[in-house]
Amino acid sequence: MSTLQTIHDVPVLMCAPDGELIGNERDALDLVGDAGYQGAQWVVIPAGRFSEAFFQLRTRVAGDIVQKFANYRLGMVVLGDISHHTDESPSLRDFVRECNRGRQAWFLTDIEELQDRLKT
């Protein structure tokens, strides 16, 4: 079950680690709708909730999902260790680095990192 938390005055929808896999835009839209209904500005999704296709950039799943969140002006955080994916894919590593430079989608390892990011 997802819960709404406030971190440094920012409403954040924290998705539960267990739940259905997120593997396409429709799945992302369900989260966007839930976040909008609850008044969240950011949605934090455990990395384990994403299908393997998300981490394979050639499928375009990651780009489509990030774009869906951007269209609705919601921030998205992939939370957890994805090093086994980035170690195998230089293009994914570059995608993660570019996302982390912006203010739309972040790939973070833990809640403390999220708290630091939301301070600014």
Q: Which residue has the tokens 């203010």?
A: 103
For the stretch 43-83, pLDDT in tens is: 999 999 999 999 999 999 999 999 999 999 999 999 999 99
Q: What is the pLDDT of residue 1?
A: 81
Question: Could you give the CA distance from residue 77 to residue 74 in angstroms, rounded to a whole number?
Answer: 10
**Pick from 70, 75, 59, 77: nearest CA to 23:** 59
Span 108-119, pLDDT tens digits: 999 999 999 999
Could you read off the pLDDT of 15-44 as tens digits, one per residue? 999 989 999 999 999 999 999 999 999 999
What does the pLDDT read at residue 41? 97
Query: Which residues are CB-contacts of 20 (< 8 A; sequence separation ≥ 6)?
Result: 27, 49
pTM of the model: 0.94
